[in-house]
């Protein structure tokens, strides 16, 4: 894993905030039967009682605290693992989509540490957590979306790739043509490094069959 940049002012305000990444050679394809089975097993092993207790666990609790610190209500704007848990309860299981989405789901539900993926060939320089800038937009197209006022973003030298904890913007994520992915995680104070490493390991292992 590589440590990427955090704006100095942001780092001073939120000690312990990190963005870490790794680059892997992999493609997003249809999930093989064994990966779909892992997802079914994960679904079957996750109960409503576990969902209720989730926020009391140390890592989800750390993300909930950080959400409050940046002005988000975690009961409204849920942290990533709680968002996925609610989807599991609503739909009765984790839906298999492709190797990347399934790998991200497995890593998140096993560790509570969220990961995102970019097409590494489209990343300009290092990633950085920084404040959004006046007039910045998310993605291109005819009707681009402006960065919400006061929000932090993950950006490279070309501009924002995501609002912090939001989805990767159109045109910056992994596509069917992607051959090299940059996986990244936003880590907050109170999240043990070993769990971050495990999240990357689980995701890479699910994507490639090796780690």
pLDDT in tens, 66-89: 999 999 999 999 999 999 998 888
pLDDT tier, 145 (very low <50, low <70, confident <90, very high otherwise):
confident
Q: Where is pLDDT greater, at 143 or 102?
A: 102
Break the chain into its structural domains and give their ranges: 2-208
CB neighbour list of residue 186: distance below 8 Å, 6 or more residues apart: 17, 18, 19, 114, 129, 154, 164, 165
Tell me which H or E stretch contains 180.
strand 180-187
- What is the rounded CA–CA span in Å between residue 53 and residue 179? 38
Topology of domain 2-208, CATH: Phenylalanyl-tRNA Synthetase; Chain B, domain 3 (3.50.40)
pLDDT tier, 137 (very low <50, low <70, confident <90, very high otherwise):
confident
The pTM score is 0.93
Residue 141: the pLDDT is 64
Percentage of the residues of the chain whose pLDDT score is greater than 70: 97
Distance from the Cα of residue 167 to its chain's centroid:
8
pLDDT tier, 48 (very low <50, low <70, confident <90, very high otherwise):
confident
Q: What is the mean pLDDT of residues 187-202?
A: 97
Q: What is the rounded average pLDDT for all residues in the chain?
A: 92
Residue 71: the pLDDT is 93
């Amino acid at each position: 894993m590589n440590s990427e940049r955090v704006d100095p002012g942001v780092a001073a305000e939120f000690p312990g905030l990190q963005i870490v990444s790794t680059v892997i050679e992999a493609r997003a394809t249809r999930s093989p039967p064994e990966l779909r089975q892992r997802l079914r097993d994960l679904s079957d092993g996750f109960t409503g009682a576990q969902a209720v207790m989730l926020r009391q666990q140390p890592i989800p609790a750390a993300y909930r605290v950080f959400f409050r610190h940046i002005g988000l209500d975690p009961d409204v704007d849920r942290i990533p693992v709680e968002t996925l848990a609610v989807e599991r309860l609503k739909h009765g299981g984790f839906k298999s989509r492709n190797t990347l989405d399934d790998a991200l789901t497995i890593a998140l539900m096993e560790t509570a540490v969220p990961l995102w993926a970019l097409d590494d060939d489209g990343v300009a320089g290092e990633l950085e957590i920084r404040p959004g800038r006046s007039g910045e937009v998310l993605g291109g197209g005819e009707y681009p979306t402006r960065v919400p006022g006061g929000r932090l973003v993950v950006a490279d030298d070309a501009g924002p790739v995501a609002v912090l904890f939001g989805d990767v913007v159109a045109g910056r994520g992994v596509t069917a043509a992607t051959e090299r992915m940059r996986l990244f995680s936003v880590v907050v104070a109170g999240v043990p490094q070993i769990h971050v490493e495990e999240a990357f390991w689980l995701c890479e292992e699910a994507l490639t069959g090796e780690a």
